[in-house]
């Protein structure tokens, strides 16, 4: 039993470590991250047209590409992204890692679009970037019903999150901690 748990943990860690931008040079990797941002925003605007105005009016926004793996009682996600500060027109390249425990099985490739409605929320995310959460989902796309923020979830004061599932199927109920940090290699 111990050997199977150790193998599960190693498999999850190995698979989650695969989410990195393509490219041999810093410039190529930055270009890949910016292209992912453009593609994700295009998809978001199609799914939730009001999000275009929400992003335009916000202090800034972030777009992340994440690959998540759930194997029995262990879950991880790994990814990369970029934060855009509207006041300075600067991009901050970032990484993320998530680990948790709970029941789950599957893998999913998803995109997260964070909208920062307050300056403090944006600054804290870039400087500290920590989020802890509990989640239960079936990797389903949200519908267009509801009010102005339909499809978005408020994850903290001043931060809304849209999540778009690209591929995969995962059924999970986990307690998870996620860390976001500046990618020193791409900055």
Report whether 175 contacts 131 (CB < 8 A): no
Number of domains in the chain: 1
As a whole number of angstroms, the distance between CA 81 and CA 4 comes to 33
Is residue 139 domain-resident? yes
Look at residue 51 and tell me if it is in a domain. yes
DSSP state, residue 143 = -
In-domain check, residue 187: no
Q: Which two tokens mark 174? A: 């986990």
176 belongs to a structural domain:
yes
pLDDT digits (tens, 9 = 90+) for 14-44: 444 456 787 889 999 999 999 999 999 999 9
Nearest residue to 110 (alpha-carbon basis) of 29, 181, 47, 184: 47
Over the stretch 80-128, which tens digit does the pLDDT of each residue have?
A: 999 999 999 999 999 998 877 666 666 667 788 999 999 999 999 999 8
Which residues span the domain enclosing 40? 2-182
Rounded to an integer, what distance in angstroms lies between the CA atom of residue 165 and that of residue 154?
18
Q: Would strands 159-182 and 90-116 be described as parallel, antiparallel, or unpaired? A: antiparallel
* This prediction's pTM: 0.76
Closest alpha carbon to 175 in 137, 118, 134: 134
Decide if 77 is inside a domain.
Answer: yes
């Amino acid at each position: 039993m111990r050997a199977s748990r150790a193998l599960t943990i190693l498999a999850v860690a190995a698979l989650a470590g695969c989410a990195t931008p393509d490219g041999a040079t810093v410039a190529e990797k930055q270009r890949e991250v910016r292209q992912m941002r453009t593609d994700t925003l295009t998809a978001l605007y199609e799914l939730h047209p009001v999000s275009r105005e929400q992003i335009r009016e916000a202090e800034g926004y972030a777009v992340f590409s994440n690959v998540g793996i759930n194997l029995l009682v262990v879950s991880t996600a790994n990814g990369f992204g970029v934060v855009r500060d509207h006041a300075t027109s600067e991009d901050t390249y970032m990484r993320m890692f998530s680990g948790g425990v709970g029941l789950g099985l599957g893998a999913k490739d998803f995109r997260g679009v964070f909208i920062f409605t307050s300056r403090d929320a944006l600054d804290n995310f870039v400087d500290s970037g920590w989020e802890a959460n509990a989640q239960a989902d079936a990797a389903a796309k949200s519908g267009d019903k509801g009010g102005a923020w339909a499809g978005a979830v408020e994850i903290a004061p001043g931060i809304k999150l849209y999540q778009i599932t690209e591929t995969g199927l995962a059924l999970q109920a986990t307690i998870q901690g996620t860390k976001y940090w500046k990618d020193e290699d791409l900055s």
